[in-house]
Structure 1
Amino acid sequence: MPRTPSPTPALRIFRARRIVTFDRDAEAFATLGERVIDTGTLADLRYRFPLAEIVDLGDRLVVPGFNDAHCHPSVTAETRLRLDVSPAAVKDVEDLRRVLSARAAATPEGEWIFAAGFNPARSAGSRIDRNFLDAISTRHPIVVVLFNWHIAVVNSKALESTGLTDASEAPVGGELGFDTAGRLDGWLYEQAFLEPYWSGTGRPPWVPEPDQDSLMDALVEENNLLHSVGITSYCDAIVTPRVWRTYQATRDAGRLTARVGMLLWSTYFDTAEELGLGAGFGDDRLRFLGIKAMYDGALSGGTCLCSTPYASATDGRNGIQLVDERAFADLVGAVHAKGMRIAVHANGDRAISEVLDAIEAAQAASPGAGLNHRIEHCSMVDDQLLERIRAAGVTPVPFSGSIRQHGPQLVGFYGADRAATILPHRSFLDAGIVVGGSSDYPTTPIAPLTAIASMTTRATAEGQVIGADQRINVLEALELYSVGSAHACGEGDHKGRLAPGYLADFTVLDTDIITAGPEGVSEANVLSTWVGAERVWSS
């Protein structure tokens, strides 16, 4: 069957008042198809490419497209098909009760009620628990996932489906909540929730999954949301084979407008091995980046693994270690030996040190294998850890907006002095370490401009400054969300700059935030978002 000829790639010249290329100063850049072919003055490019279409972006700032190196659009897409109980949807516990009760009344008996996004710190009222949910329904399994996706609260029917009883021991890397009578209170911490939810190869899903067509439609809506805040690329930091198939189907249908890198959840590592996948498999639209694992708990949830005591959410202990140390080292060694990238969630300084132990051992055992491994969040480091990260060629991917979003909680858990050193973007850059920009959406807002405001001011939403000496400037923050994220995803040779040979992905802002400074970032707006020199969103 003859193939339909490809359309002739469009030749265009884009100009704006200011263009940040991270290569050289330019008034304009020329594109052929999806890539930049030259930069310079408008007059020079017109002379070189007389047949090019001129696209005048006006008195605007153009920056390389924002690239979120760690977020969860497949999770938030699925949440669109579940029940949103985030602070934007429910203001307090009574509001939560009302929303869950309405859903129970409309749901056939025995079917799941799955709600996500609840933030106890931002929702007034008493603590929810098993009894609270049982009062809503004992005929439906109910699960309420907290905003950080490290903790869930379930009712009796959902507990039954996990096989947990009052006599059960917590799984490795997880904890179970109990009431004063020694009865399970419905709180499932870390692996007690994550293990059944992302069950692994060959195991049935704990919660029934949405059909693929519905999930694909929801994913398209999520990508439109991401484009509206200027994002052209992202790394989905937990992907299962089902989510992988959804991304592929969306791409095959011509509906995947963003560029997506995928990190496969570690319980599906054998799936990657069977398929012979290596990091970088795929193309410029959809790519396998590596394997995702988790070592400790949540920064904003007070369960990260630290070397010294803090007011943790786990009865005063120093956080939760989610994995067996030996099994984790074996996983890192196997992933590295296969030439794949390992991306490990680690927040506390003890967790980061032990993750580096495993990476350094894997590199020593297979010196020529592997790519730049990643530490996701990498929230607490000292000078010794900075040197080890640099020497191992590891790329940190810290939260970019967490100070703004969760500053008061960080001070509450870790104290003012330690909170001032958390997420040390300045220290990373001064140590010569390339850093990726990330929201960990939905843990913090997806908008890169909100994250840039956080990194450049270190101010909470209430105006409290936490760790002023870790501020970076606006240009550094822009580079982190483009060049840095491309490096974190192994794509630094063709993404993140507006330079010849690079992908023509860019974002148009109404304000020159570089000259406006940190105070002007919050007032800026995205006017349009372009992927491969084609506009995918416009205000």
Structure 2
Amino acid sequence: MAADLVVASRRVFDGLGDEVDPLSFAVEDGRITKVAHYDQADELVGPGARVLDLGDAFVCPGFHDAHQHVLHAALFPSALATEYRGTSEADCVSHMVEFARTRPADGWLLGHGWRETFWDSPMSPTRASLDAAFPDRPVAMYSGDAHTLWVNSAGLRALGIDEGTEPPAGGSFDRDADGRLTGVLREAAGMLYVGRVLGSFSMGELRGIYRDYFRRLNAMGVTSVCDMALSLVPGADGINPQVYEALLQADELSLRAHLFPTLGDDQSILEGLQSRWRGPLLRAPGFKQFFDGVSSQHTAWASDEYANPRFAGDVGRPTVAPERMRELVLAAAGRGHAVRIHTIGDEAVHAAVGIFEEARRLFGTPSQGANTLEHIEDIHPEDVARLARAGVVASVQPPHVTIDVDQPARDLGEWRAERMWPFDEFARQGVTMAFGTDAPVVPPNSLDVLWCAFERSAPDTHLPTGGWYSQHAVGRAAALRAYSAGSAAAVGRGRELGAIAPGMLADFVVWDADLLEVPAEEFQRARPMATYLGGRAVWEA
């Protein structure tokens, strides 16, 4: 067969090195078949091939967001829900009153984004404020870190929660001084019950917001995504495979999607998806589980006491008992399945690496994806080399570094803050990094991912000046690779995604600026000109 398309540019970052080269490449049936010098493009052209000479436009592999919660990321910017951080509890309630005017029915009102640490009075909210505004209509507000759900009394009733209800394992219900429910549900409890709220949306509504969201990602140069379970309770993980199948059947899936359901005793959920999904667009490479929570809520599992302990010996906690996690992971590994584990605290990371070391020793490498640790905000320095030796991918989200640069020292202490998110050490010691956003925890903006990786400052304010512990930054080429080839490694597709080379799927982005050379002050003004999936334009400016 002859090439369908020949692409040529004087500025191509192929992802295989650190340089930009003048290259041309031929695309046939969605894959790159040949790569040559820019001046040799004519030699690649066959009968009927379309030639795309881009001149000096910058071309790089498509970005692959290695960690998103797609339902939530697609939902909250839509008209079906609302995104709002707020300045206080009262401010958030007022915002929901305004939002209710756009949703005049009597069903759930859903919001996302509140973080009490940013409020004027950083106190945990209660249902009382919501009850005053919404005595009868159920309201749910999901926290910005996606680990806590705040509901009113009508919401508790709709969810079937009363004073005698037990929270799920790994979760908790806040109670006041009298022992009564406050309406705040944490960790596994929040994740489980928000899934029931989300179940109130129709398939038609979900399909529409997913389709629109994926086109938004295409406009940022994103060609692949990992949709990660957002609950440690199987069956309540929110990955919605039926929505993806509907989009695929309608030829409306404009990126490659990789779904990771929650790991439990029943592995048939994943295996059923794997038996159905063998094509290039839709895959289910492995499982997801949660080992701890977040440090801002003192639910991340740390080896030493928090700097501002809430009680003596406050080190957070595992959401799944270590022996239970070991049992689950080894059972999956025995059937060839990869597992991706949420680990934020250094003790959670340490324990998870040990489990993966044992899984590798007993069963080798997974058959599809790679064993991966998610987030890895704090890590024992000696555990970095263990990650590399065990072949564990570090799935990290650079924009998390600057969500609140004061929080790590406040909660964990300066001695831990200065070693957190050590991208430089991962790169130096040979740990494969996979970049993502954890959207909707932070926006899915692709340039923010890269900016925070090599500048270590907030993408909107560029503070702190000089970057937050800038010694842990990585160079632009390394950041681009982590956001493409690294994420491909996490889903076990390193031989067909993440580079511009023969045999690779032709997923690439054309930019109006050289992302390796453009001055830092102009970097965030760069814009994609076109995004290609399998050699087909899925977005054009």
TM-score by length of 2: 0.89
* Structure 1 CA distance for aligned equivalents of residues 112 and 268 of structure 2: 28
- The percentage of aligned residue pairs carrying the same residue is 25
Equivalent position of 1:428 in the other structure: 426
* Structure 2 CA distance for aligned equivalents of residues 94 and 372 of structure 1: 45
* Structure 2 CA distance for aligned equivalents of residues 300 and 237 of structure 1: 21
Q: Comparing 354-363 with 168-177, which one deviates more in the overlay?
A: 168-177
Segments of structure 1 that go 5 or more residues without pairing to the other structure are 1-7, 199-204
Deviation of the 1:412 alpha carbon: 2.9
Q: Deviations over 1:393-413 (max 9, x none)?
A: 111101121123332333332
- 1:410 has 2:380 as partner: no
* Structure 2 CA distance for aligned equivalents of residues 372 and 413 of structure 1: 32
SS in 1 for 2:333: helix
* Structure 1 CA distance for aligned equivalents of residues 520 and 310 of structure 2: 37
Q: Deviations over 1:418-443 (max 9, x none)?
A: 22221111111111111101111111
- 1:57 has 2:54 as partner: yes
Say if 1:125 and 1:376 are closer, same or farther in 2 by CA, change over 3 A.
same
* Structure 2 CA distance for aligned equivalents of residues 227 and 313 of structure 1: 44
> 1:214 is matched by which residue type in structure 2?
E
Say if 1:44 and 1:300 are closer, same or farther in 2 by CA, change over 3 A.
farther
Where has structure 1 moved over 6 Å in runs of 4 or more? none
SS in 2 for 1:483: helix
Instruction: Please give the residue correspondences for 1:69-80 in structure 2 after superposition, counting only pairs within 5 Å.
Output: 69-79=66-76, 80=78
Equivalent position of 2:205 in the other structure: 214
Match of 1:159 among 132, 156, 163: 156
- Indicate conservation of the 8 Å contact 2:71/2:238, yes or no: no
Instruction: Please give the residue correspondences for 1:236-385 in structure 2 after superposition, counting only pairs within 5 Å.
Output: 236-238=227-229, 240=237, 243-267=240-264, 269-272=266-269, 275=272, 277=274, 281-299=277-295, 301-311=297-307, 317-367=314-364, 372-385=370-383
Q: Comparing 316-325 with 127-136, which one deviates more in the overlay?
A: 316-325
Instruction: Please give the residue correspondences for 1:24-35 in structure 2 after superposition, counting only pairs within 5 Å.
Output: 25-35=21-31
* Structure 2 CA distance for aligned equivalents of residues 525 and 271 of structure 1: 42
Cα-Cα RMSD: 2.7
Deviation of the 1:162 alpha carbon: 4.6
Say if 1:43 and 1:462 are closer, same or farther in 2 by CA, change over 3 A.
closer
Q: Comparing 30-39 with 283-292, which one deviates more in the overlay?
A: 30-39
* Structure 1 CA distance for aligned equivalents of residues 266 and 110 of structure 2: 27
Q: Deviations over 1:181-216 (max 9, x none)?
A: 332222111012123345xxxxxx455331112111
> 1:388 is matched by which residue type in structure 2?
R
Equivalent position of 2:499 in the other structure: 497
* Structure 2 CA distance for aligned equivalents of residues 518 and 268 of structure 1: 49
Deviation of the 1:275 alpha carbon: 2.6
* Structure 2 CA distance for aligned equivalents of residues 451 and 28 of structure 1: 28
- 1:15 has 2:8 as partner: yes
Q: Comparing 480-489 with 71-80, which one deviates more in the overlay?
A: 71-80
- 1:485 has 2:487 as partner: yes
Q: Deviations over 1:94-124 (max 9, x none)?
A: 4432332245565445x32222222334455
Q: Comparing 100-109 with 281-290, which one deviates more in the overlay?
A: 100-109
Deviation of the 1:277 alpha carbon: 3.5
Deviation of the 1:477 alpha carbon: 0.5
* Structure 1 CA distance for aligned equivalents of residues 351 and 80 of structure 2: 37
Match of 2:127 among 121, 126, 130: 130
* Structure 1 CA distance for aligned equivalents of residues 538 and 271 of structure 2: 36
- 1:230 has 2:221 as partner: yes
Segments of structure 2 that go 5 or more residues without pairing to the other structure are 231-236
Deviation of the 1:167 alpha carbon: 5.8
> 2:281 is matched by which residue type in structure 1?
R
Q: Comparing 355-364 with 341-350, which one deviates more in the overlay?
A: 355-364
- Indicate conservation of the 8 Å contact 2:3/2:45, yes or no: no
Q: Deviations over 1:344-398 (max 9, x none)?
A: 1001110011112322333344347655201111221223211221222111101
> 2:405 is matched by which residue type in structure 1?
G
SS in 1 for 2:315: coil
Deviation of the 1:311 alpha carbon: 4.3
* Structure 2 CA distance for aligned equivalents of residues 425 and 68 of structure 1: 17
